[in-house]
Amino acid sequence: MAPKQTHGDYRRYEPAMSQPLPGDIGIVNLARSEAAKAEITVRPLRGNISVLVGSGGNIAVFSGPDGKLIVDAGISVSRPKIAAALAAVSPDPIRYLINTHWHFDHTGGNQWAHSEGATIIAHENTRKHLSTITRVDDWDFTFPPLPEDALPTEVFKTDRTLSINGTTIVLEYYGPCHTDGDISAQFSEADVFITGDTWWNGFYPFIDYSTGGSINGMIRATEANLAKVTDKTIIIPGHGPVGDKIQLTEYRDMLVNMRDRVADIKKPGRSLAEVVTAKPSAAYDAKWGRFLIDGSFFTRLVYAGV
């Protein structure tokens, strides 16, 4: 079946994992199970840039005569559907794959993308986590190292600029935020900005304290994102619908308010259980708690960082 292509409103979005499964399957296995069943939707944006939705994090695709550049690679079980979606965008070969960070739902396709000719680019900390055994406590999951041909071969510390298909793509390191290896990608001519998992549009984000993330780092990253975009910028988040500066501002405000609420409740020395019971996220849960991270989970993540 050919991937579904949707023109028109690029903000439309159907999260593949909107109803978490019961029991103790765990977030990682749940995500992989759902990705195996999910269809891939192609959403053209502008400037020969599209976004693929349906396998883990959003995948951006920039096509042209020099070849394709893709940002993130989804979950490995989705390879046939992602490959079909990429072919539907254009016949151009994959030249570059950019990993915005190391998590499995953004790097699961690294090995097959490399086998098709992609040079993999990432921050040096992303390669570090992918090349070693890495434990994520809040997922209760230990990831083995990826094989050598799935690892980024071009890494950088602060920033990297690419020129492909007549466009400048600027990659910049946030510093520790969602993890300690997150980067953004800015398409200068098209005015399209990719945040990776520093922005989950309409959903509570996961914060990976096991590999350097923190609530304050997430807020700093969001402030940095806001400083780089205008009212006309198309912003591709790590999860959720493609959005704009108004939505990104609302997300920033939610993060700040949640941090301050949890800190105020915790300050007298209250335990994690007491803070969760106080429900500091109650006013936000109906809007932001509809994906993998509910209000209690997000409160626990914020508590760890205040």
How confident is the chain (306 residues) per 10-residue block, as mean pLDDT? 40 38 68 89 96 95 97 95 96 97 97 97 98 96 97 98 96 98 97 98 98 98 98 97 98 98 97 98 96 94 98
Number of compact structural domains in the chain:
1
CA dist 28 → 16, 34, 182, 198, 233 (Å):
14, 10, 19, 19, 32
- Neighbour-count burial of 91, counting CB atoms closer than 10 A to its CB (0-12 exposed, 13-18 middle, 19+ buried): exposed
pLDDT for 13: 38
pLDDT at 25: 67
253 assigned to some structural domain: no
User: Is residue 154 in some structural domain?
Assistant: yes
**How much is the pLDDT for 6?**
40
Range of the domain at 173: 4-246
- Domain of 202: which CATH number? 3.60.15.10
Would residue 131 count as lying in a domain?
Answer: yes
**Dist CA 279 CA 274 (whole Å):** 9
Q: What is the distance between the alpha carbons of residues 161 and 283, in angstroms, rounded to a whole number? A: 41
Q: Does a structural domain hold residue 88?
A: yes
> CA 136, 156, 203: angle at the middle one, nearest 5?
40
Residue with tokens 């055994």: 133
Give the pLDDT confidence score for residue 30 in this predicted structure. Answer: 87
Asked if the structure places residue 72 within a domain, the reply is: yes
Q: Is residue 161 situated within a structural domain? A: yes
Contact partners, residue 44, CB within 8 Å, separation at least 6: 5, 7, 10, 50
DSSP assignment of the chain: -PPEE--S-TT----TTSSPPSSS--HHHHHHHHHHHPPPEEEE-STTEEEEESSSS-EEEE-STT-EEEE----GGGHHHHHHHHHHH-SPPEEEEE-SS--HHHHTTHHHHHHTTPEEEEEHHHHHHHTS-EEEGGGTEEEPPPPGGGS-SEEESSEEEEEETTEEEEEEE--SSSSSS-EEEEETTTTEEEEEEEEETTSPPP--GGGT--HHHHHHHHHHHHHH--TT-EEEEEES--B-HHHHHHHHHHHHHHHHHHHHHHTTT--HHHHHHT-TTTTTHHHH-SSS--HHHHHHHHHTT-
290 within a domain of the structure (yes/no): no
Cβ atoms of residues 240 and 203 within 8 Å = yes
Residue 24, pLDDT score = 53
Q: Work out the burial of residue 180: count CB atoms within 10 Å of its CB; fewer than 13 is exposed, 13-18 middle, 19 or more buried.
A: buried
Asked whether residue 286 is assigned to any structural domain, the reply reads: no
